Chain A
Amino acid sequence: MHAVLRKLVLTLHVASSVGWLGAVAGFLALALQGLTSRDVDLTRGVYLAMDITAWLVIVPLASASLITGVAASVGTSWRLFRYYWVLVKLLITVFVTAILVLHMRPIESLASAAARGRLDPTMHDAQQLMVIASGLTVVTLLALTGLSVYKPRGMTPFSSLKIRS
């Protein structure tokens, strides 16, 4: 990959990954507010904002992080399967993105209930899950950021196969 293009892809990858972490941290703050606040109007606003944030910020940033991450590793000498830290990052990003996209329903349910003004106690489980899921995601994304910065040693068995062939 040409140096200019490589730096552009890397910039997009860093921006989308860090943006994803920041957006999920904001989502966690809203989820905590929604779970603990006794102000009905504030809680309704929180879940409507969470739905918008999830669809228009978190999902696009997660997808962009995955796509640019693959492009950045394939287009450089790091490759996708040569180093453990790249492979682990890829697997975690794919897992977290898939879980995020496949489980948007409870966010939508909370937002539609909030829009109708009917946030009843049966939704408490979903409200708790928002906090747990976004909290775990923040921890996971921090771990991914650490992997990118420290780049811990270790080459996968695929690397030796490639070198021999």
Chain B
Amino acid sequence: MNETTSRDPPERSRERASRPATPLWVKLFGAIGLIVLLLFVLLHVSGHGFGGHSAH
């Protein structure tokens, strides 16, 4: 992702090279968050979500 192309101006290339890489723990949290979000959406779509229960 940090590769430079011939079209990049020099400042842009330096900027990309100096940009800190995303830490592994952030990627891990992101992946878990995405899975939880997908499960949550699936629960709602399948009708087992939190909103559909009523005592009436």
* B19 → chain A closest CB, angstroms: 6
Contacts A88-B29, A160-B18 hold; do A153 and B50 have CB atoms under 8 A apart? no
Is A118 located at the chain interface by the 8 A CB criterion? yes
Is B7 part of the contact surface with A, judged by Cβ < 8 Å?
no
B26 touches A153 (CB 8 A): no
Main secondary structure of the interface of A (DSSP, over half): helix
Are B55 and A125 in touch, CB under 8 angstroms?
no
B5 to chain A, nearest CB (A): 19
B-facing residues in A106-157 (Cβ within 8 Å): 106, 109-110, 112-113, 116, 118, 123, 125-126, 129, 133, 136, 143, 152-155, 157
In contact, A123 and B25 (Cβ under 8 angstroms): no
Q: Does A59 contact B (CB under 8 A)?
A: no
The prevalent SS among residues of B at the interface is loop
Q: Is B9 an interface residue (CB 8 A)?
A: no
Nearest neighbor of A114 in chain B, beta-carbon distance: B55
Interface size in chain B (residues, C-beta < 8 A): 18
Asked whether, in the complex, the Cβ of A105 is within 8 Å of the Cβ of B22, the reply is no
Interface size class of A (residues with CB under 8 A): 20 to 34
**A110, B54: Cα distance in complex, Å:** 8
B10: interface (CB < 8 Å): no
Check A84 against B26 for contact (C-beta < 8 Å).
Answer: yes
A125 in contact with B48 given A118-B55, A160-B18 (CB within 8 Å): yes
* Contact of B25 with A152 in the complex, beta carbons under 8 Å: yes
Chain B residue nearest to A112 in the complex (CB): B55
Q: Which single residue of chain A is at the shortest CB-CB distance from B21?
A: A154
Determine if B53 and A125 form an interchain contact, defined as CB atoms under 8 angstroms apart: yes
Chain A residues with Cβ below 8 Å from B25 are 84, 152, 154
* Known contacts A105-B50, A109-B56; 4 further A-B pairs (Cβ under 8 A): A84-B25, A109-B54, A152-B23, A160-B20
